[in-house]
Chain A
């Protein structure tokens, strides 16, 4: 092999860079996201239940929000009858965030962990929180 030495050095440098994210985080346990439900509105609820089951909301809230947006905005249908028959007004800012008024401890908790940056907050106004600018 020609220039085996140079190639090997090059490979080692490449591997060092490519694997950097892995070994630099090795052994460091990142705290698991722990979204909080302790807002005043939720605490006052007798049955602490979102519009759908916890499992559904956890996995599918983004799709549900898209469907809500299209129903309200395009079809003018602003009421949602969930699978348990309860009817909710469709409004991200005025309904979802009324209960989940703790963006930092609810939304951001998982979004930051999963490194997703949903653009909701570019337009929708987050509820005022103590030590929360937006």
Chain B
């Protein structure tokens, strides 16, 4: 029996369908009905996580270093020892740089000299998410702008899109530049971008972000959509500003002056 080229192609097409139903598919099907993915009941949840930074409570250099050190230590953030390669999740900058539109020479003494603490603003309208070609950067249901390092191809579009410099690129292998590895958390690898994750891994365990925990009340974390949350209480009794000029709707608020209500 001879078979025409046309018939052969038809046959090949039909039989290739069968490949879809292979033995490994059966392995999956048999268990597919039973398995389930769930959130942990002990995890903290919110509609929109937010942070309030009370700059009045940052008084000494130590107050700044404490929050920075804990974050970089538990998240295995490398220290390359030079500004060019710098990788940071949380850092400080001058008042003038952080709030360029708020600067004026008649502000009360001490305000403009004060450094501000910065991290990713977990914007409600995040440009970094919009530009990421692989959806490595994405916004979670609770407002956290997260990043899947497995998917990051290192194109750095997100770095160009973020107006706040919240993102760092690993130009080199970070492993040798991490002084003390935290064995509970992964490192990153050469060629990926990284940034603050609002401590999602801690929230899942029912813990507040690490920087908040060591800040002696200078940082407050909570649900912006809940009128009774701690952050909303602070925001309704203090004058706060955020880096809102560019329309990204940041979830980080700053209290820079006025009486301390403690």
Contact = CB atoms under 8 A, between A and B. Distances in A.
A45 B36 CA distance: 24
B103 interface: no
Interface in A60-107: 60, 63, 69, 71, 73-85, 87, 89-90, 93-94
B140 A83 contact: no
Interface in B124-140: 138, 140
B24 A59 contact: yes
Contact of B27 (A59, A69, A84, A94): A59
B142 A123 contact: no
Contact of A123 (B138, B184, B186): B186
Interface size on B, as a range, is: 20 to 34
B140 A76 contact: yes
Interface string A102-124: 00000000000000000100111
Contacts of B204: 76, 78
A59 B38 CA distance: 24
B114 interface: no
A94 B184 contact: yes
A70 B146 CA distance: 12
Contact of A56 (B27, B138, B140, B146): B27
Given A55-B27, A93-B184, A127-B183, A83 B39 contact: no
30 contacts: A56-B27, A56-B31, A60-B28, A63-B28, A69-B150, A74-B138, A74-B140, A76-B39, A76-B204, A77-B39, A78-B43, A79-B37, A79-B38, A79-B39, A79-B40, A80-B35, A80-B36, A82-B31, A82-B35, A83-B35, A84-B34, A87-B38, A93-B185, A93-B186, A119-B189, A123-B149, A123-B188, A125-B186, A125-B187, A127-B183
Given A76-B141, A125-B181, A125-B187, 13 more contacts: A52-B31, A55-B27, A71-B37, A77-B39, A80-B35, A80-B37, A82-B34, A83-B30, A85-B34, A93-B186, A123-B188, A124-B186, A125-B186
A56 B27 CA distance: 6
A61 B151 CA distance: 19
Interface string B157-194: 00000000000000000000000010111111100000
B186 A78 contact: no
A132 to B, nearest CB: 13
Nearest to A72: B204
Interface size class of A (residues with CB under 8 A): 20 to 34
B27 A77 contact: no
Of A71, A77, A90, chain B has the most CB atoms within 10 Å of the CB of A77
A89 to B, nearest CB: 8
A78 B150 CA distance: 17
B40 to A, nearest CB: 5
Interface string B16-31: 0000000010011011
A127 B183 CA distance: 8
A134 to B, nearest CB: 9
Interface in A7-54: 52
A60 B181 CA distance: 30
Contacts of B141: 76
B187 A123 contact: yes
B200 interface: yes
Contacts of B148: 69, 73-74
B215 to A, nearest CB: 25
Interface in B196-221: 200, 204
